[in-house]
Amino acid sequence: MTNTEVNNQGAQEAPARKKRIFSAIQPSGQMTLGNYLGAIRNWVEMQDEFDCVYATANLHAITVRQDPKKLKENTLNLFALLIASGVDPEKSIFFHQSQVAAHAELAWVLGTFTQFGELSRMTQFKDKSARHADNINAGLFTYPSLMAADILLYQADLVPVGEDQKQHLELTRDIAERFNGIYGKTFVVPEPYIKKNAARVRNLLDPSKKMSKSDQNTKSYILMVDEPATIMKKFRSAVTDSEACVRYAEGKDGINNLMEIYSACTGKSYEQIEDEFRGKGYGDFKNAVGEAVVAVLEPIQIRYKELISDKKYLDELARNGAASAERLAKRTIEKVYKKVGLVR
Ligand code: ATP
Ligand code: LTN
């Protein structure tokens, strides 16, 4: 019986269950300003409204070859950076995917409910197998079954997704419905949670592309841990146009991108920004954008440095998070094994 039903019958007033969110980020490199404004900041905001379960997706990261030492370091750094950004282990469950074995267990079972044809159509698989032609491994192919397991294990109602992960979420929904259809209601079928006006940050040197940590040119992106002086320098070399007028318009991708970043960091609207820089040159504008970004990132960097120097504390946070995750995951995996007829 749901809480609402209890309430309708006039029984004790129970608070309505908050919707559950699941999300994860791969520790596959250093986080950029794009990751922060497009994803991480939302993770922090969603904590007040939703019951959030967050993880570093280190099992997904090994679908491309990783140096073991580097992977561990990236995983810990990502964990610390997210906490420094405001992911709060008191409010949310936050852990490393590899700490809860049920992710791998459920992924195996769900893999048997995922068709070869479906996986073959995934654009991420096609892209990544073209980029890593020497290592098109089975894990890269079945990546979406593991992602479905991440989400379905926690009975998540909502999954915040960017454009690139929509197809994987759609497949997750299909797998959940297929399983529920055969065995009766087992999984919540998750909905995409698309945040209105979430920032989409573009590459500083080629604004036709998104800002991406895997870009060859370090000047094309701002890292969350870049020094303030580096951030200022990178913005000064950002591509603009020859009009010398700060306004949001078609064909002004470079300036549009800087306006989007400035707006995301200061809360100012495009009109306010146009007013502020009327009659001023791009040099002034770029400096202001750099300063606004430094103002957002500097406090995070300070907290990050403190956290990263206390590995024991970080380990303890992750272990506690994993223990809470495990309790939720256990219920689902036990139900699944029982329904499928697997001896536990
Ligand atoms: P890669 O360079 O390895 O493709 P990436 O930097 O593009 O990685 P992901 O690790 O794929 O980022 O994405 C992590 C999260 O950050 C996702 O939710 C994604 O939508 C978001 N994100 C990544 N880049 C941007 C961007 N430039 N603007 C807004 N959001 C972004
Ligand atoms: N595939 C995602 C990371 C990811 C994820 C998830 C996101 C792994 N498991 C579950 C949402 C829900 C990516 O590369 N951005």
For the chain, what percent of residues have pLDDT higher than 90? 90
**Within 10 Å of residue 78's Cβ, how many Cβ atoms?**
24
Q: Please state the pTM of the whole predicted model.
A: 0.93
Q: What is the mean pLDDT of residues 69-89?
A: 98
Q: Is the pLDDT of residue 4 over 50?
A: no
The pLDDT of residue 247: 97
Ligand 1, atom 5, residue with closest C-alpha: 212
The atom number, within ligand 2, closest to the CA of 39 reads 15
**pLDDT tens digits along 217-246:** 999 999 999 999 999 999 999 999 999 999
Instruction: Give the separation between CA 179 and CA 145, rounded to whole angstroms.
Output: 13
The pLDDT of residue 11: 52
Instruction: Give the separation between CA 150 and CA 172, rounded to whole angstroms.
Output: 10
In this structure, the chain runs to a length of 344
The atom number, within ligand 1, closest to the CA of 164 reads 20
Ligand 2, atom 13, residue with closest C-alpha: 25
The pLDDT of residue 10: 46
**pLDDT tens digits along 26-70:** 999 999 999 999 999 999 999 999 999 999 999 999 999 999 999
Ligand 2 mutation target, pool 166, 168, 169, most atoms within 8 A of CB: 168
The atom number, within ligand 2, closest to the CA of 28 reads 14
Tokens of 181: 């259809």
**pLDDT tens digits along 282-341:** 999 999 999 999 999 999 999 999 999 999 999 999 999 999 999 999 999 999 999 999
pLDDT confidence of 164, banded at 50, 70, 90? confident
Q: Is the pLDDT of residue 9 over 80?
A: no
The pLDDT of residue 199: 84
Instruction: Give the separation between CA 90 and CA 95, rounded to whole angstroms.
Output: 12
The pLDDT of residue 269: 96
The pLDDT of residue 3: 43
Ligand 1 mutation target, pool 35, 62, 158, most atoms within 8 A of CB: 35
Question: Annotated active-site positions, please?
Answer: 128, 210, 213
Instruction: Specify the higher pLDDT residue, 188 or 194.
Output: 188
CA gyration radius for the chain?
A: 22
Mean pLDDT of the chain: 94
Ligand 2, atom 12, residue with closest C-alpha: 23
Cα–chain-centroid distance for residue 164?
Answer: 11
Is 203:212 a contact under the CB 8 Å cutoff?
yes
Residues with CB under 6 A from ligand 1: 25-26, 28, 32, 34-35, 38-39, 162, 199-201, 210-214
Q: Is the pLDDT of residue 23 over 50?
A: yes
